[in-house]
Structure 1
Amino acid sequence: MLARRALLALLGSVGLPAAALEPLLARNAPPGIDPRPYLVSEKFDGVRALWDGKTLKFRSGRSVAVPAWFLAELPSQPLDGELWMGRRSFDALSATVRRTQPVDAEWRLISYRVFELPAGEGDFERRAAKLATLAGGVVMPVQQQRLNSNAELRALLKQVVDAGGEGLMLHRADAPLASGRSDLLLKLKPVADAEAVVVGHEPGSGRFAGQLGALEVRTPEGIRFKLGTGFSEAQRRDPPPIGSIVTYRYRDLTPGGKPRFASFLRVAEAF
């Protein structure tokens, strides 16, 4: 909760909407976690989208430009999930959902992988069971399963990653509805990732002269560090602007909380 407040304050300081953090957001799972209290699912590399029964919106609160036929296949009750085009297809998906005029042929490749009922009753296990009854058309409830040991969890992680997936999500089966960054929802990936706000640009030198050398970023906890790797040539020429939220990968944390071997992954998909 404190981390969420810190990031909300930081977003406010750079003029970004607090609405971007209203859904439940995951923390990183510890390596030796016991999965038995959780329902486990694949982590889909998609774009978060919230359906209020009438309008489909990004995490930022901005409406998604969606074909009428796609909206017609959504139920009247609110849903939370990911727009998804398939494994390793994030860039194509991002380009599609950002368009102000939807391209029908592109949207035919997208499904809505739903994992929460924002107005549902009971704990998450009960809400997930209700979600499973809503399958049809573009709506595809995320498959949840119980695992009995960390060894089973690691085996499933390897299976998903080997098939091109990002990782796994662990949602407390007894969790009430919640919002913001929380231990009720965890992500497990071969390499950890997190989000930070861009607070500065460091100019490049040598072959990067006249381009971006590194981003200076700040975490929700107020820790500042630099991201100097992971950028494409286009991103070095036109870097994420100050105030934007970026996702970075890292191996582990120093005793002071700084990420080790951090590299830029992408601009966060709040849109």
Structure 2
Amino acid sequence: MATGEDYERVRRDIPQHIKVSVLLAHKYQDGETNPTGWWMSEKYDGVRAYWNGRCFYSRSGNAFYAPSWFTEDLPKDMDLDGELFVGRKKFQSIASIVKKSEPQLWEKVRYYVFDAPHLEEQPFETRMKAIKDYFDKAKPGYAKFVVHEKCTGSDHVDKELKRIIDLGGEGLMIREPGSKYERKRSKTLLKIKKFHEAEALVIGYEPSKSNKDLTGALKVQMANGKEFKVGTGLSKKDRKSPPKVETIITYKFQEYTNSGKPRFPTYVGIRIDMTEPKDAEGVVTEATDD
């Protein structure tokens, strides 16, 4: 295992920022897409990470400096796309690990690989075979090959989504068979979740009613300018030391109220790869205001 000195050398020798373009998903809408024959896998609640043969980078191109022992058996001549993941319902943990210079914390992390961007013109099936062939040969210790299942129809999606949600997972991803790796948001890749997700800007705090030294809720602002509060989902640590003002956070919610604010918003964690808030797309207003 690498020493702290080795870790700092890695940080010195590898660029802190590069240009990265990744395939991004649209939201799955019932009735709009027939999922039969599409490739289905779990949507992991981790940090998106692009491996360029030397280092992990966020989708905005910022480096995640993993220790050398974590990456030593990853390919040097292949680009990989995946999620750095520590477990279901542990997004805050992985977000914290990738920001810190504490290599020992990476023992908890696994890199879940689901695509090979350098083969962008090849169909998805060819890209997956290339990844599997490498994994079968190299057997990387801290990376996992994401297995995709052929979807048999909408009922299969509903059943698998329920199974994943019951396990504490976030949702599903489905990919169009034969699709290329488009370095943009594409309808060849769809995400299926029970809740909507979005990003907001922290603008202030509301103290806890039971202890004024703790944060009861974050005051946040949507991309469209609307303001609301998020209190659910904050841990004891978050309430003692909440995200700083002007931090971007991710929250999840059920739908919009008549005034266009999220209903039952829940804090997910700090969004380390975004600098501006982003509202959810395709959300139907179904709830009246409280």
Q: Could you say what secondary structure the match of 2:164 adopts?
A: helix
Tell me the distance in 2 between the aligned counterparts of 1:90 and 1:159: 19
The alpha-carbon deviation at position 266 of structure 1 amounts to 1.4
Task: Give the secondary-structure state (helix, strand or coil) at the position aligned to 1:260.
Answer: coil
User: Does the CA contact (< 8 Å) of 1:46 and 1:85 recur in 2?
Assistant: yes
Distance 1:141 1:194, change over 3 A: same
Distance 2:34 2:211 in 1: 45
Count of residues in Structure 1 that have an aligned counterpart in Structure 2 = 250
Paired position in structure 2 for 1:227: 229
Answering whether residue 187 of structure 2 is matched by residue 186 of structure 1, we say no
Equivalent residues in 2 for 1:55-74 (5 A)? 55-74=55-74
What's the counterpart of residue 13 of structure 1?
Answer: none
| Alignment-derived partner of residue 112 in structure 2 | 113
User: How far 1:21 moved relative to its partner?
Assistant: 8.2
Give the Cα–Cα distance (whole angstroms) in 2 for the partners of residues 160 and 205 of structure 1. Answer: 34
The structure showing larger relative contact order (alpha-carbon pairs under 8 Å, at least 6 residues apart) is: 1
Distance in 2 of aligned mates of 1:256 and 1:181: 28
Distance in 2, Cα, partners of 1:264 & 1:181: 25
The one-letter code of the counterpart of 2:122 is G
Alignment of 1:28-67 (within 5 A): 28-31=27-30, 34-36=34-36, 38-67=38-67
CA distance in 1 between counterparts of 2:132 and 2:259 reads 43
The alpha-carbon distance between structure 1 residues 102 and 218, as it changes in their structure 2 partners (threshold 3 A), is: same
Aligned match of 1:247 in 240, 246, 250?
250
- 1:152-231 matches, within 5 Å, as 152-190=156-194, 192-198=195-201, 200-204=203-207, 206-207=209-210, 209=212, 211=215, 213-219=217-223, 222=224, 224-230=226-232, 231=234
Question: Shift of residue 262 of structure 1?
Answer: 2.2
CA contact (8 A) 1:48 1:269 kept: no
Q: Distance in 1 between matches of 2:186 and 2:246?
A: 23
| 2:123 alignment counterpart | 123
Go from structure 1 to structure 2 and tell me whether the alpha carbon gap of 1:236 and 1:223 turns closer, same or farther (over 3 Å shift). Answer: same
CA contact (8 A) 2:18 2:62 kept: no
SS in 2 for 1:45: coil
Unaligned runs of 5+ in 1: 1-17
Range 107-116 or range 48-57, more displaced: 107-116
1:98 equivalent in structure 2: 99
CA RMSD of superposed structures (Å): 3.1
Once residues 208 and 112 of structure 2 are traced to their aligned partners in structure 1, the CA distance between those partners, rounded to angstroms, is 43
Query: CA separation in 2, counterparts of 1:180 and 1:238?
Result: 36
Cα deviations across residues 105-145 of structure 1 (Å, max 9, x unaligned)?
A: x4344322111212113233332232222212133221112
1:175-203: CA deviation from partner (whole Å, max 9, x where unpaired): 3323344433322223x232223052254
Q: TM-score, normalised by structure 1?
A: 0.77
| Runs of 4+ displaced beyond 6 Å | 18-21
**Structure 2 letter corresponding to 1:113:** Y
Q: Give the share of equivalent positions with the same residue, in percent.
A: 29
**Pairwise CA distance, 1:263:** 2.4
- In structure 2, relative to structure 1, the CA distance for the partners of 1:36 and 1:73 (3 Å cut) is same
Local SS of the residue matching 2:269: strand
Shift in Å, 1:97: 3.0
Question: Structure 2 vs 1, CA of residues 159 and 79 (structure 1 numbering), >3 Å: closer, same or farther?
Answer: same
Gaps of 5+ in 2: 1-16, 275-290
Give the TM-score of the pair, scaled to structure 2: 0.72
- Distance in structure 1 (CA, Å) of the matches to 2:26 and 2:211: 34
Gap change, CA 1:244 and 1:180, over 3 Å in 2: farther
Matches within 5 A, 1:138-153: 138-153=142-157
Who is 1:25 aligned against?
Answer: 24
CA contact (8 A) 2:202 2:218 kept: no
What is the deviation of 1:50? Answer: 1.2
Cα distance, 1:209–1:111 mapped onto 2, change above 3 Å: closer
- Which of 203-212 and 32-41 deviates more? 203-212
